[in-house]
Chains A and B, each alone.
Chain A
C-alpha cells in the first residue's frame, strides 16, 4: 500500500510507460495476481446484494484466513450495475478473479475460462447441492457453477387494498387478476391494482412470469423460442392489463426496485416479489398487511420463476486450484453458508442449508415452490442477447406497440446472438 507520490517518480514512470509500450505492443502481461511471498492469494469478486454484503464476506474471509494461514483472500465488491464492466475488463486483461459470484456463466464456460466445479470442490460439497440447481449450473452435462443462492417469485398481495376493493379471494388466473386489479385501481388516490415493471432493470423477469404463465416460455439450452402463440397471448394480455388501467402508469419504463418501494408503502395491490421483499417490508413498513401467494397463470396452474446465482472458479494460470477448493469447501459448510444466505434473505441451494432453514416461516412459500421452478435458459449461448433484447424492447408493449412486432423483434435480436 505504499504509494510513491514523488512527482519526479511520476514523470519517470510516465516516460517508462511510453518506452515499454512502444517495445511490447500487445504483449498484455499478467497483472499482479498472487505469489506475493510464500502464501497464495485468492481474488474474490462479488456483487453487492444488500448493505451487508461486504461485511458478510469479510466475516467469512477472516474465519477462513484464521483456519488457513497460508492463503490470503482479496475481496472486491462491486454493484450489480458495474459487475459486468469490471469482469469483462479483467478477462480482457488476462487478470480474471479466481472466484466470482455472478449470474450467467455460459459465456465464460464456452471460452474455457472456468474450472469444472468438481475440480474445485470436494465430493461432499458437490453432493450437497440440490439436484434441481445442478442441471441449471451445467453446460452439456459439465457443471461449471456452484449454486450460491436461489430466489423464487411469488405474488405479493396487499390484503387491505384487496378487501377495500371488495375482492374476496386472491386471484389465481389471469382473468381474476385483471378483475381484481381493475377494482383496486378504481379506489383512486394513486393506488394501482397490479405493479407491472417492464422497465429495463429486470424486464426479463416480469416477462418470464407472463410468458411461462401462458404455457409458453423462453425455450431451452438448445433453442430460444420467444415468438410463439402462447407468448403472443401473454403479450396481448399484458396490453389488456395496461389498457384497462389495471397497472401503474408508464409500465413500459417502470423499473422494479422503485416500484417495489411503492408496494411496500401500500400503494399497489399486487406485485411479483422475491424472498428479499419479505425483509424489505419488515424494514420499510412492518405494518403492511400482506400475503404471499402463487403466481396467477392463464389457467390457474401454479408455476414459479426460479433464479440461481453461482460461484464460478476461473482457471487463470492454473496455480490456485488447491486454494480455491479450500475456500469453497470452507464456505459451503453449513456453519458458514447458512448464516450468510439467511442474512442476504435468499434461499439456500444446498441440502444441508435447506434442512437448516426449512422452518423459517417467512420463506416457506418460496422454499415450497422452488422444486417446480422454471429457470431462464441461461446456458443457451444466445441467452445473453435474449436477456438484453427483453430489457430494451419488451416495455414497448405497454406503450401500445403491436404485440406481434415486439415479439418478432426480440426473437430476431436473440437469433442474432
Chain B
C-alpha cells in the first residue's frame, strides 16, 4: 500500500502543473490530499483483489490475512472454466447488452434532451416529469410485469429484451443529465448560428455538441455502468446460463452451504476493469482535454 502512495504522484508527471504558478508547498499539499483520496476509493477494491488471489479456504479464515499468503493467480484462469457458469459467454453477453443499450439510449435521449432544452412546446414540462416518473418505480416489483410482457412478445431470454429494458430504464436520467448541460449553453450561441442560416441539426451537431461533451460523457458512463451492473430484470428475463450477464453469473458461485468467494471477487474485479478502461479513454479525451487550464 505504501507503494501506491509514492507511485501515484510519480506516474503522471506532466509539465501542466508548473503553468499554474502555484507555490510548491501547495502542489505538495494537493498531492498528499490526492493520495488520501486515492487510498479511500481504492481500498475496498484492493481487499477484493487480494481476496481474489487467495485460496477458497484462506478467504474464509478466522485469522484473516491482509495479504494472500500465497498468490493464486491461476484463479483468474480457472474462473472462466468453472462448472457453475459459462463466464466467457456471460462476459460477451454483458458487453453486447451494455454497448447496444447505451447506443440506443444515446440515439434516443440526445434529440429529446436537446429539443426540450432549446425549444418550447406545450407539454414540455409534463414530458420531462413523465420521463423521470418511470424511474421512481421499484424494479423488484416491476420484474413480474416485464417477464409477462416479453414472454408475450416472444423475446424472453434474448439479448434484445435486455437491451430494450436497460435502454428504457436508463433513458430518463440520460435525458435529464444531457438536458441540464444543453440548458447551460447560452441561447445566443444558437441564435448566432441560425442567423447564419444553419439548420437545427447543424446547430446541434456542429455547435452544441462540442460544448456539452462533458455532459454527454457523464450520461454515457452513467448509462453504461447501470446496464453493466443490472441484475433484477436479467435474473428473470434471461433463463439460459449463457445469455446471462456477469451480475447474474456471480450469484452462481453462491451455493446453499458454501460460496466460492475467491471467484466472486475475481469476477467482480474482471467486471470492473472494462468500465474503468472505457472511462479512462473517454475521460482523457474529453473532460481532461477540456479542463486543461480552464479553471484553476
A and B touch in the complex (CB under 8 A): yes
Contact residues of A with B, CB < 8 Å?
1, 3-5, 7, 9-11, 13-14, 16-17, 20-21, 24, 27-32, 47-55, 74-82, 85-86, 88-90, 92-95, 190, 257-258, 260-262, 265, 267, 274, 276-277, 280, 283-285
Q: How far is the CA of A262 from the CA of B60 in the complex (A)?
A: 8
Q: List 18 A-B contacts (CB under 8 A).
A: A4-B160, A10-B167, A20-B152, A27-B152, A48-B84, A49-B255, A50-B257, A51-B255, A51-B258, A74-B240, A78-B251, A82-B235, A85-B236, A86-B239, A90-B236, A93-B147, A95-B147, A258-B60
The stretch of B2-10, B99-107, B125-133, B186-194 in contact with A is B99-107
B46 touches A (CB below 8 Å): no
Rounded to whole Å, the gap between the CB of A273 and the closest CB of chain B is: 10
Knowing A28-B152, A54-B83, A261-B60, say if A3 contacts B251 (CB, 8 Å): no
Q: Which residue of A7, A81, A276 is within 8 Å of B257 (Cβ)?
A: A276
Q: Is the CB of B256 within 8 A of A265?
A: no
Check B252 against A48 for contact (C-beta < 8 Å): yes
Query: How far, in whole Å, are A262 and B63 apart by their CA atoms in the complex?
Result: 10
Q: Cβ of B104 and Cβ of A31 under 8 Å apart?
A: no
Convert B219-245 into 0s and 1s, putting 1 for each residue whose CB lies closer than 8 angstroms to a CB of A.
Answer: 000000000000000011001111000
In the bound complex, residues from chain A placing their C-beta under 8 Å from that of B147 are 31, 89-90, 92-93, 95
Q: Once the chains bind, are B148 and A28 in contact (CB under 8 Å)?
A: yes
Pair B83/A10 contact, Cβ less than 8 Å: no
> B241: which of A54, A86, A190, A284 is its contact (CB, 8 Å)?
A54
Say yes or no: A51-B84 contact (C-beta < 8 A), given A31-B151, A79-B252: yes
Q: Which 6 A-B pairs have the closest CB atoms?
A: A31-B151, A55-B83, A93-B148, A29-B152, A79-B251, A89-B236
Question: Which B residues from 244 to 265 make CB contacts under 8 A with A?
Answer: 251-260
A interface footprint on B164-190 (CB within 8 Å = 1, 0 otherwise): 100110000000000000000000000
Q: Do A48 and B255 touch across chains, with their CB atoms under 8 A apart?
A: yes
> Which of B85, B96, B151, B158 gathers the greatest number of chain A CB atoms within 10 Å?
B151
Rounded to whole angstroms, the CA-CA distance of A77 and B96 in the bound complex is: 22
Given A5-B96, A85-B236, A190-B62, verify A54-B252 contact (CB < 8 Å). yes
Complex formed: what's the CA distance from A277 to B256 in Å? Answer: 12
Residues of B within 8 A of A81 (CB): 251, 254
Q: B residues within 8 A CB of A50?
A: 255-258
Docked pose: A31 CA to B143 CA in angstroms:
15
Find chain A residues with CB under 8 A from B144 CB: 88-89, 92-93
Asked whether B256 lies within 8 Å of A80 as measured between CB atoms, the reply is yes
- Which residue, of B84, B242, B258, B259, has the highest number of chain A Cβ atoms within 10 A? B258
Q: Which residue on chain B has the smallest CB distance to residue A258?
A: B60
Question: Are A7 and B107 in contact, CB atoms less than 8 angstroms apart?
Answer: yes
Q: Which residues of B contact A76 (CB under 8 A)?
A: 239-241
**Whole-angstrom distance between the Cβ of A307 and the nearest chain B Cβ:** 11
Tell me which residues across on chain A come within 8 A of B251, comparing CB atoms: 78-79, 81-82
Closest to B103 in A: A7
- Our count of residue pairs bridging A and B at CB distance below 8 angstroms stands at 150
Closest to B161 in A: A13
Please indicate which of the listed interface residues B104, B154, B235, B239 has the most CB atoms of chain A within 10 Å of its own CB. B239
Question: Could you tell me the distance in whole angstroms from the C-beta of A282 to the nearest C-beta in chain B?
Answer: 12
Q: Is there an interface contact between B57 and A284, defined as CB atoms closer than 8 Å?
A: yes
Decide if B69 is an interface residue (CB 8 Å cutoff).
no
The answer to whether A265 and B61 touch across the interface, beta carbons within 8 angstroms, is: yes
Known: A76-B241, A257-B258; 17 extra A-B contacts, CB below 8 A, are: A3-B158, A5-B96, A9-B160, A28-B152, A30-B151, A31-B152, A31-B156, A32-B151, A32-B154, A51-B253, A76-B240, A77-B241, A77-B252, A86-B236, A89-B144, A95-B147, A277-B257
From known contacts A52-B83, A54-B241, infer whether A86 and B256 are also in contact, taking CB-CB under 8 Å. no
Q: Does B50 count as interface, using CB distance less than 8 angstroms?
A: no
A10-B62 in contact (CB<8A): no
Contacts of B60 in A (CB 8 A): 258, 261, 265, 284
Per the bound structure, the CA–CA distance linking A49 and B255 in Å amounts to: 5
* Closest chain A residue, CB of each to CB of B63: A265
* Chain A residues whose C-beta falls within 8 Å of the C-beta of B83 in the assembled complex: 51-52, 54-55
Return the contact of B159 from the options A3, A51, A82 (Cβ within 8 A): A3
B149 in the interface (beta carbon within 8 A): yes
Residue of A nearest to B235 (CB): A82
Give min CB distance, B208 to chain A, whole Å.
Answer: 23
B155 within 8 A of A: yes
Kindly report which residue of chain B lies nearest to residue A285, judged by CB atoms.
Answer: B57
Interface pair B155/A13, CB less than 8 Å apart:
yes
Q: Which of B57, B60, B152 has the most CB of A within 10 A?
A: B152
Are A86 and B257 neighbours in the complex by a CB distance under 8 Å?
A: no
A95 and B160 in contact (CB under 8 A), knowing A49-B257, A54-B252, A86-B236? Answer: no
Bound-state Cα–Cα, A28 to B259, Å: 37
CB distance A257 to B257 under 8 Å?
yes
CB neighbours (8 Å) of B100 from chain A are 5, 7, 10
**CB neighbours of B149 from chain A (8 A):** 17, 21
CB of A293, distance to nearest CB on chain B (Å): 20
Q: Which residue of B lies closest to A52 (CB)?
A: B83
Q: Is B153 an interface residue, CB under 8 A from the partner?
A: yes
Residues from chain A with Cβ under 8 Å of B84 in the complex: 48, 51, 53-54, 77
Q: Any chain A CB within 8 A of the CB of B163?
A: yes
CB-CB nearest in chain A for B151: A31
A10, A28, A78: the one contacting B163 at CB < 8 Å is A10
Chain B residues near A10 (CB-CB < 8 A): 100, 104, 160, 163-164, 167
| B82 within 8 Å of A (CB atoms) | yes
